[in-house]
Amino acid sequence: MRQLTSRVKEEAHRLGFDLVGVMRIEPLAEDEKRYLDWLRAGMSADMAYLQRRPTLRARPDELVPGARSIISLAVNYYSGEFDEVGPGQGRIARYAWGRDYHEVIPPRLRALVARIEEWIGRKVQARCFVDAVPLLERAVARRAGLGRIGFNSCLITDRFGSWVFLAEILLDVDLMPDEEDSRTCLRALDCINDCPTGAITQHYVVDARRCISYLTIENRGIVERALRPLIGDWLFGCDVCQDVCPHNRRLPKTTWKEFHPQSGVGKTLALDDVLSIESDEAFQHRFRHTALRRAKRRGLLRNAAIVAANQRYEPAIPLLEQLMETDPDPIIRGHAVWALGELAGRRARARIERALEDEHPFVREEARASLER
Ligand code: SF4
């Protein structure tokens, strides 16, 4: 078993995985309790998929019957710092600069399983996961010795900080488990103090309802008016709590060229370009093979309207006017009304008054609120 485990780890590194560890299949009892408490407190917002069969996430033995081990893998995606972000530019979280990791990583997981089958001379019952998994991935990675959990709830590794994608292989093969990482966070508190929205409500607890990552990616509905200014120039995701984390200083860049900014959308996007995307088809085409697809056109244009207002980016006014008047999506129209009110104030009054006649109550409400300011 020891020899096979060493071979698996060597092969994983050869395939490009930066960290690899093993956990024996067993329930994650403590993590399950914390997760259920978090759900009960409503902190998962409207991410219904997190609430489906919640206990399964902490019971890998039920997820893949017959599985004996979990190979936990991490890929470093850090590829540098942001350049100066000027007006008219929206910031993209680092994990989404390059190609979509959901597409890039799985073939290498399957290659690892194929090698294991060769070595042990039989078909392996295995399931490979990257992110889209009903499993507490960070808890598994900690148990497999990849790193500790930070106050911002990210997995923090010694060599790559928290800039890592996680992946898992659950398989019916006995492997030598690694020792869990039971160290605590450095307790620097920078993530808690610097989070723009106060989303880290206590150590290790992030309230998704306030987290910019959730608000700009998973939430495709209304962003609460009070939270919009706090989003700053984040067009997709947020890296603030990771940027300020002392574990994330002086780290090596990824060797996966797929995650370099030039392989995907890059570090920022021009707000004018985003606000000009006319259809869902155009959006899908523009962002194919990137993680930005997750936000959908509705989410990304809504975010661009918010960032334009936060940056006082007046060149966006004509595009916002057009969206407010003609876009078929009320979420986009409503946020365009708000952004126009913020940017153009009295100058946009006559146009915003027309939005009082909009067919959708959200747009009318935004127009009313804007005119009352
Ligand atoms: S991702 Fe941003 S908003 Fe969310 S907890 Fe971290 S700093 Fe706060």
Atom of ligand 1 nearest to the CA of 206: 5
Q: Is 190 a catalytic residue?
A: no
pLDDT of 52 higher than 80: no
pLDDT at 43: 83
pLDDT of 300 higher than 90: yes
pLDDT of 157 higher than 90: yes
- Please indicate whether residue 217, judged by its CB atom, sits closer than 6 Å to ligand 1: no
At a CB cut-off of 8 Å and minimum separation 6, what does 237 contact? 92, 93, 95, 96, 212, 213, 216, 217
pLDDT at 243: 96
For residues 108 and 112, what is the distance between their CA atoms, to the nearest angstrom? 6
> Residue of the nearest CA to atom 1 in ligand 1?
238
Q: Are residues 247 and 296 in the same domain?
A: no
CA 344 to centroid of ligand 1, rounded, Å: 29
pLDDT band of 137, cuts 50, 70, 90:
very high
User: For the chain, how many structural domains are there in total?
Assistant: 2
Range of the domain at 311: 276-373
Q: Are residues 29 and 108 in the same domain?
A: yes
Q: Are residues 195 and 304 in the same domain?
A: no
For residues 50 and 67, what is the distance between their CA atoms, to the nearest angstrom? 23
pLDDT of 209 higher than 80: yes
DSSP assignment string, 9-58:
HHHHHHTT-SEEEEEES---HHHHHHHHHHHHTTTTTT-HHHHSSGGGGG
- Please indicate whether residue 175, judged by its CB atom, sits closer than 6 Å to ligand 1: no
b/e sequence 55-93, b meaning 16+ C-beta within 10 Å: eebbbbeebbeebebbbbbbbbbbbeebeebeebbbbbb
Question: Dihedral angle at the C-alpha atoms of 83, 89, 91, 95, nearest 10 degrees?
Answer: -80
pLDDT at 186: 75
Hey, what are 154's tokens? 């990210």
Q: Are residues 257 and 314 in the same domain?
A: no
Q: How far is CA 165 from CA 84, 129, 235, 250, in A?
A: 26, 11, 21, 18
Q: Which of 229, 262, 295 is the last residue of a domain?
A: 262
Residue 82, domain member (yes or no): yes
> Residue of the nearest CA to atom 6 in ligand 1?
241
- Please indicate whether residue 195, judged by its CB atom, sits closer than 6 Å to ligand 1: yes
For residue 261, give the 3-state DSSP assignment.
helix
For residues 351 and 367, what is the distance between their CA atoms, to the nearest angstrom? 10
Q: Are residues 125 and 48 in the same domain?
A: yes
- Please indicate whether residue 367, judged by its CB atom, sits closer than 6 Å to ligand 1: no
CA angle 257, 142, 170 (to 5 degrees): 75
Going through 100-163 in order, the beta strands assigned E by DSSP cover 126-129, 148-149, 155-156
Q: Are residues 67 and 170 in the same domain?
A: yes
φ, ψ dihedrals at 14, nearest 5°: -60, -35
For residues 226 and 233, what is the distance between their CA atoms, to the nearest angstrom? 15
Residue 271, domain member (yes or no): no
Q: What is the DSSP letter of 230?
A: G
- Please indicate whether residue 208, judged by its CB atom, sits closer than 6 Å to ligand 1: no
Hey, what are 250's tokens? 């002086």
| Pairing mode, strands 89-92 and 234-236 | parallel
CA 267 to centroid of ligand 1, rounded, Å: 18
Residue 234, domain member (yes or no): no
pLDDT of 48 higher than 80: no
Residue 38, domain member (yes or no): yes
- Please indicate whether residue 211, judged by its CB atom, sits closer than 6 Å to ligand 1: yes
What average pLDDT does this structure show over 254-274? Answer: 97
Catalytic residue among 18, 31, 100, 131: 131
Residue 349, domain member (yes or no): yes
Q: Are residues 178 and 129 in the same domain?
A: yes
Residue 64, domain member (yes or no): yes
Q: Pick from 194, 206, 207 the residue to mutate for probing ligand 1's pocket: most ligand atoms within 8 Å of its CB.
A: 206
Report the range of poorest mean pLDDT among 59-68, 150-159, 176-185: 59-68
Hey, what are 306's tokens? 């918010």
Q: Are residues 125 and 20 in the same domain?
A: yes
- Please indicate whether residue 212, judged by its CB atom, sits closer than 6 Å to ligand 1: yes
Global ipTM:
0.96
Q: Mean pLDDT score of the chain, rounded to an integer?
A: 94
Q: Are residues 192 and 158 in the same domain?
A: yes
Q: Are residues 258 and 302 in the same domain?
A: no
pLDDT at 221: 95
Residue 228, domain member (yes or no): no
Q: Pick from 213, 217, 218, 230 the residue to mutate for probing ligand 1's pocket: most ligand atoms within 8 Å of its CB.
A: 213
pLDDT of 345 higher than 90: no
Asked whether the beta carbons of 321 and 351 are under 8 A apart, the reply is yes
Q: Are residues 189 and 323 in the same domain?
A: no
Residue 231, domain member (yes or no): no
pLDDT at 160: 97
pLDDT band of 54, cuts 50, 70, 90:
confident
Q: Other C-beta atoms within 10 Å of 246: how many?
A: 13
- Domain at 281, CATH number: 1.25.10
Q: Are residues 8 and 30 in the same domain?
A: yes
